């Protein structure tokens, strides 16, 4: 009888653990979908007003890094409070605004709208593949974290240098590397949720949002460089 009770308690514990993981994953997906609304709004305002067109070179980089890291710090500080979601949505609006400069440049091409939609579709495809893989891969991927962090750091440093160098070849190389690294990061972050390593849906949403926005931006840059048609 004792063995039966112990087994029942263990099974209930596993069920509760599984239910909690599913809840975090479900809330993350909902918040991730919601976060795209301020992003699109910010990008639309930026393109329509041209407010970010003068933010090139070092000034734009300083503003972007300062704003992004400031928001990320604020999100981590408020992720367990009622302010967590509004702060996250404010960050996604800021990211859309910052992204508008590149979108406006791509829209300047004859086939600009097609390139933007292709980048969006490609990003959605990468996310779908990584979400599917995260649900079937049984291996623990937590060891990937440190290598992916090093890769992301190298891409960030390379991107900062290239802002001042202005090399098209460098931009191509950075974009290809970023697509690979942040696609892998997407799988890693999704697997963390599935395995119960991430239990806060706001932190989970932030991680996935950063993966998605980096893949989209890199795809857009790649398509603009290689496939942009001028009038």
pLDDT tens-place string over residues 31-72 = 999 999 999 999 999 999 988 777 766 677 788 889 999 999
User: Where would I find the H helices in the chain?
Assistant: 2-49, 57-78, 84-107, 112-136, 144-165, 168-194, 201-227
**pTM for the full model?**
0.87
Q: What is the DSSP string of 104-143?
A: HHHHTSTTHHHHHHHHHHHHHHHHHHHHHHHHH--S--TT
Tell me the percentage of the chain whose pLDDT exceeds 90.
Answer: 57
pLDDT of res. 15: 40
* CB contact burial 113-150 (16+ within 10 A = b; e otherwise): eebbeebeebbeebbeebbeebeeeeeebeeeeeebee
Please give the Cα distance from 189 to 133 (Å, whole number). 12
The alpha carbon of 63 is separated from its chain's Cα centroid by a whole number of angstroms, namely 19
């Amino acid at each position: 009888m004792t063995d039966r009770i112990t087994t029942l308690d263990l099974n209930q514990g596993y069920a509760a653990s599984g239910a909690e993981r599913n809840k975090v994953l479900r809330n993350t997906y909902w918040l991730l979908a919601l976060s795209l609304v301020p992003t699109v709004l910010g990008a639309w305002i930026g393109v329509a007003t041209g407010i970010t067109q003068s933010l090139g070179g070092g000034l734009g980089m300083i503003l972007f890094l300062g704003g992004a890291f400031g928001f990320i710090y604020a999100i981590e500080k408020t992720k367990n409070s009622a302010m967590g979601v509004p702060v996250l949505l404010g960050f996604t609006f800021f990211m859309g605004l910052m992204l508008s400069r590149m979108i406006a440049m791509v829209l300047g091409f004859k086939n600009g709208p097609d390139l933007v939609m292709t980048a969006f579709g490609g990003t959605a495809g990468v996310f779908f593949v990584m979400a599917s893989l995260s649900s079937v891969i049984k291996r623990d991927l937590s060891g990937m974290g440190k290598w992916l962090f090093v890769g992301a750091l190298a891409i960030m440093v390379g991107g900062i240098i290239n802002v001042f160098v202005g090399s098209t070849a460098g931009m191509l190389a950075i974009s290809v590397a970023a697509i690979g690294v942040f696609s892998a990061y997407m799988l890693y972050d999704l697997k963390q949720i599935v395995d119960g390593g991430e239990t806060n849906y706001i932190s989970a949403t932030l991680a996935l949002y950063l993966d998605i926005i980096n893949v989209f931006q890199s795809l857009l840059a790649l398509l603009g460089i290689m496939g942009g048609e001028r009038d």
